[in-house]
Structure 1
Amino acid sequence: MEYARLGTSGLKVSRLALGCMSYGEPGRGTHPWSLPEEESLPFIAQALDLGINFFDTANIYSLGSSEQILGRALKKLARREDVVVATKVYESLDAGPRSGGLSRGAIMREVDASLARLGTDYIDLYIVHRWDYETPIEETMKALHDLVTAGKVRYIGASSMHTWQFVKAQYTADLHGWTRFVSMQNHYNLINREEEREMLPYCLDEGIGVTPWSPLARGRLTRDWDETSARTAGDPIQDRFYGPTERADRAVAQVVADIAAERGIPRARVALAWVLRRPEVTAPVIGATKEHHLTDAVAALDVVLDNSELARLDAHYVPHRVVEYV
């Protein structure tokens, strides 16, 4: 395993993060394909055995049960100081009028709930899951700063927003002497590269770590395009992201398959190696529901794509419509 600083922060993480959205009570929330606790534990253990120390979850995943499963697993399998736990805040967990968002009240309430579910005294990286259009950014950034000064949170990060919004948040923190975001978790892979236009250059210039979600395009880069799974069958977000550009995306996915066949390695290693080579990227967030998912991800760290392969992977890309993350 390789390790790196998260941007220019002092937080050192493995170059892969295990995403825990796949682990949670199947009957809770909007992820019926998630794995129950007894099936989730082996993957968290395998990740630790492979040297992964970075675990990413969210309060909304399976309505909190993902945090519970991860917290109990890490308590059994690792020393708290040896792992980096990231969780997120923003989504509504119930239908109440005060649920969700990034108001001071919501943040203070949700961080305590996440700490209780995770069974820990602090969160290493607390991520705002989306931009809150209803709360002034000053209120959000001050609340996050107060969590850091209180010791409940060590670092703060952001996810999936427009670059101008991220810049505004950082400027607000700088203006008031508050804590800045140290990371950006955004949608980035071979068939959605729109973050290269503004967000990635900004992060590189500012020393902000990037931890892309869906680096394998929800599995579309790892298997034949028309092959389905329980996850894809119940995932309407896929059509929003990839439906309008399906023809070009299929062509990119086919090049991944061709290069993998030529090298005699799984497609996942090629697609993930492409993401890992980006200088902005610290640690892609990978999902794992089969044993080979983690071993393939770790093996991708040793795959070096040559210039000819990179040119082939670039050849079919077309601009994608910006998807609003609300």
Structure 2
Amino acid sequence: MKYTKLGKSDLNVSRICMGCMGFGEAATGQHSWTLDEEHSREIIKKGLDLGVNFFDTAIAYQSGTSEQYVGRALRDLAERENVVVATKFLPRTPDEIERGISGQQHVRNMINTSLANLGMDYVDLYIYHMWDWNTPVYDILDGLNSIVKEGKVRYIGISNCFAWQIAKANAIAEKEGFSKFVSVQGHYNLIFREEEREMVPYCSEENIALTPYSALASGRLSRRPGEGDTKRAAEDSYARFKYDATADTDNIIIARVAELAEKRGVSMTEVSLAWLLTKVTAPVVGATKMHHIEGAVRATELELTDDEILYLEEPYVPHPLAGVMAQNKPSNSKEKHV
């Protein structure tokens, strides 16, 4: 395994971050394809054995049971100081807004719940899961800064945002002396490259770490179309929402991944992630089978040539926003003032 610093932080992270959305109690109803605790623990152990030290979960994943599974496994299998744990919090709910729960209170409530789920005293990276249009960003930043000062969080990151949003937030943080976002977790892979318009160059300029999710496009970049479909592929309507509309153009790129994988004698997973590893700090790679994490780790050793990178990139055409970012807009035409 290779390691690197996470942006301007002092966190030393593996080049592969294990995405833990696939862990958690399926009976909670969010997803039906997630792993139970025993099988989640096996995947986590395999990742640790292969050198993965960076784990990403969220309070939203399976009603907090992902955090619980990850926390118990890491407490049993690793020394706390040897792993980097990231979790995420959601915007205020309509009920919280109705009850007058401030952004600062909301952040505190969320971290306390996540720490209880994880069974930990602190998290290394606390991620603002998506922009809250109904809460002043100043309040969110103030709340995050407070829990950093208290030692509950070491660094903060943001997910599912536009470049102008993180630039605005970090400018406010700098002015107020608050903690600044050190990482961005956006939607970025070989068949969805819209982050390259503004986010990638902005983060390069500011030394902000890129830790993208959907690194394999919900499995589309790890197998030929229609080949080895999984329970998740059959039931994940959100993934279909993100990718089905552009399947014809995406499949041209996927075919090139398959061709190059065959030529190099490696898996499609390795080719797809090797490409992404030339662009980002540490992709978040979900794993629900042993070969998922094994292939991801092998990708860190695969070096693509410039010609191979160009061959994979050449067919790409601009895509419309998809997933959370397609929904990342205020309920009215004007964002609330900070």
Query: TM-score scaled by structure 1?
Result: 0.95
User: Shift in Å at residue 244 of structure 1?
Assistant: 2.4
How far apart, in 1, do the equivalents of 2:233 and 2:168 lie?
Answer: 35
User: Shift in Å at residue 30 of structure 1?
Assistant: 1.1
Distance 1:99 1:235, change over 3 A: farther
Q: What SS does the aligned partner of 1:144 have?
A: helix
Q: Which residue of 1 aligns with 2:243?
A: 242
For structure 2, the 5+ residue unaligned runs are 329-338
User: Shift in Å at residue 124 of structure 1?
Assistant: 0.6
User: Shift in Å at residue 311 of structure 1?
Assistant: 1.9
Q: Which residue of 1 aligns with 2:199?
A: 199
How far apart, in 1, do the equivalents of 2:3 and 2:19 lie?
Answer: 17
Q: Which residue of 1 aligns with 2:334?
A: none
Letter in 2 for 1:241: K
Q: Which residue of 1 aligns with 2:335?
A: none
Contact 2:170 2:181 in 1 (8 A): yes
Q: Which residue of 1 aligns with 2:146?
A: 146
Distance 1:55 1:106, change over 3 A: same
Letter in 1 for 2:275: W
How far apart, in 2, do the equivalents of 1:191 and 1:225 lie?
Answer: 13
1:85-107 alpha-carbon deviations (Å, 9 max, x no partner): 10000157xx8711899822221
1:5-43 alpha-carbon deviations (Å, 9 max, x no partner): 001211111111111111100111411100010111111
Mean CA deviation greater in 118-127 or 298-307: 298-307
Contact 1:29 1:61 in 2 (8 A): no
User: Which aligned pairs between 1:50-65 and structure 2 lie closer than 5 A?
Assistant: 50-65=50-65
User: Which aligned pairs between 1:169-208 and structure 2 lie closer than 5 A?
Assistant: 169-208=169-208
How far apart, in 2, do the equivalents of 1:202 and 1:295 lie?
Answer: 32
How far apart, in 2, do the equivalents of 1:58 and 1:229 lie?
Answer: 23
Letter in 1 for 2:282: A
Q: Does 1:293 align with 2:292?
A: yes
- Segments ≥4 residues shifted beyond 6 Å: 99-102
For structure 1, the 5+ residue unaligned runs are none
How far apart, in 2, do the equivalents of 1:325 and 1:70 lie?
Answer: 29
Letter in 2 for 1:106: H
Q: What SS does the aligned partner of 1:86 have?
A: strand
How far apart, in 1, do the equivalents of 2:275 and 2:169 lie?
Answer: 30
User: Which aligned pairs between 1:91-110 and structure 2 lie closer than 5 A?
Assistant: 97-98=95-96, 103-110=103-110
How far apart, in 1, do the equivalents of 2:252 and 2:70 lie?
Answer: 37
RMSD of Structure 2 on Structure 1 (CA): 1.6
Q: What SS does the aligned partner of 1:27 have?
A: helix
User: Which aligned pairs between 1:222-301 and structure 2 lie closer than 5 A?
Assistant: 222-227=222-227, 228-278=229-279, 281-301=280-300
Q: How many residues align?
A: 322
1:164-212 alpha-carbon deviations (Å, 9 max, x no partner): 1111111110111110001000111000000001001101110101101
How far apart, in 2, do the equivalents of 1:96 and 1:317 lie?
Answer: 39
1:279-316 alpha-carbon deviations (Å, 9 max, x no partner): xx111111111111111111111111112212211121
How far apart, in 2, do the equivalents of 1:233 and 1:62 lie?
Answer: 19
Letter in 1 for 2:238: I
User: Shift in Å at residue 240 of structure 1?
Assistant: 2.6
- What is the percentage of aligned positions where both structures have the same residue? 47
User: Which aligned pairs between 1:17-166 and structure 2 lie closer than 5 A?
Assistant: 17-90=17-90, 97-98=95-96, 103-166=103-166
How far apart, in 2, do the equivalents of 1:325 and 1:102 lie?
Answer: 23
How far apart, in 1, do the equivalents of 2:91 and 2:236 lie?
Answer: 18
Contact 1:89 1:102 in 2 (8 A): no
1:40-63 alpha-carbon deviations (Å, 9 max, x no partner): 111100111111110100001000
Letter in 2 for 1:176: E
Q: Which residue of 1 aligns with 2:218?
A: 218
Letter in 2 for 1:8: K
Letter in 1 for 2:283: P
Letter in 2 for 1:260: A
How far apart, in 1, do the equivalents of 2:160 and 2:191 lie?
Answer: 16
Contact 1:20 1:66 in 2 (8 A): yes
Query: TM-score scaled by structure 2?
Result: 0.92
